[in-house]
Chain A
Amino acid sequence: MILETNNLSKSYGPVRAAEDISLSVDSGTAFGLLGPNGSGKTTTLGIVMSVLKADKGSYRWFGQEAEPATYRRIGSLIEIPNFFSYLSLKRNLEIIARIRRTGTSDIGRVLDLTDLRKRSSSRFDTLSLGMKQRLALAAALLGNPEVLVLDEPANGLDPEGIAEVRKIIIEQKNRGKTIIMASHILDEVEKVCDHVAILKKGKTLAAGKVNELLVTDNIIVIDSDNNDSLKEGLVEQALVKSAELKDNVLEIVPASGVSSGHINRYAAGKGIIINQLYIRKSSLEEQFLKLVK
Chain B
Amino acid sequence: MKRLIKLEWAKISTYGFFRLVLILTASLFLLTVFVFSRIDISIPGFTWRNLFRFPDVWPSFAWVASWFNLLLAILVITIAGNEFSGKTLRQQVMTGLSREEWLAGKGILIFGLALFGVLMVFLTGLVFGFIFTNDLNPGIIFQKMDLLLVYLLQAIAYMVLGLLFVSVLRSNALSIILYLLYFMMIEPVIRGLCPVEIRPWFPVKIISHLTPFPEFLQITSGDALENNAMTFESIGIMPRQLDGPTTLIMALVYISVFGTLTYLVVKKRDL
Partners in one complex: yes
Q: Which of A69, A70, A71, A84 contacts B11 (CB 8 A)?
A: A84
* Residue contact A98 to B94, C-beta cutoff 8 Å: no
Q: Mark A10-21, 1 if CB is under 8 A from B, else 0.
A: 000000000000
Chain B residues with Cβ under 8 A from A91's Cβ?
10, 14
Verify if B271 is at the interface (C-beta below 8 Å from A). yes
Q: Which residues from chain A contact B92 at a C-beta distance below 8 Å?
A: 95, 99
Range for the number of chain A residues in contact with chain B = 20 to 34
How far is A208 from B249 in the complex, measured between Cα atoms in Å?
Answer: 61
Are A51 and B94 neighbours in the complex by a CB distance under 8 Å? yes
Partner of A84, one of B86, B90, B93, B95: B86
B213 contacts A by Cβ under 8 Å: no
For the complex, would chain B's binding face be called helix, strand, loop or mixed by DSSP majority? helix
Kindly state whether residue B24 has any CB partner on chain A within 8 Å: no
Interface contacts (Cβ under 8 Å), in number, total 78
Output the least CB separation between B84 and chain A (Å): 11
Q: Chain B contacts of A80 at CB under 8 A? A: 87
Interface size class for chain B? 20 to 34
**Residue B269 lies at the interface, judged by CB distance under 8 Å to chain A:** yes
How many Å from the CB of B83 to the closest CB on chain A? Answer: 8
How far, in Å, is B170 (CB) from chain A's closest CB? 14
Interface string of B248-271 (1 = CB under 8 A from A): 000000000000000000001111
Main secondary structure of the interface of A (DSSP, over half): loop
Q: Judge whether A98 and B16 touch: CB under 8 Å.
A: no
Q: How far is the CB of B203 from the nearest CB of chain A, in Å? A: 29
Chain B residues contacting A99 (CB-CB under 8 Å) are 7, 92, 95-97
A81 to B98, CA, bound (A): 19
* Residues of B participating in the A interface, judged by any CB pair closer than 8 Å: 3, 6-7, 10-11, 14-16, 82, 86-88, 90-98, 101, 268-271
13 contacts between A and B (CB under 8 A): A49-B93, A53-B270, A68-B97, A68-B98, A69-B96, A78-B94, A80-B87, A84-B11, A84-B86, A95-B92, A98-B6, A99-B92, A139-B95
Given contacts A84-B88, A139-B95, 4 further A-B contacts (CB under 8 A): A68-B97, A82-B91, A84-B86, A101-B96
Name A's B-contacting residues (CB within 8 A).
46, 49-53, 67-72, 74, 76, 78-87, 91, 94-96, 98-101, 139
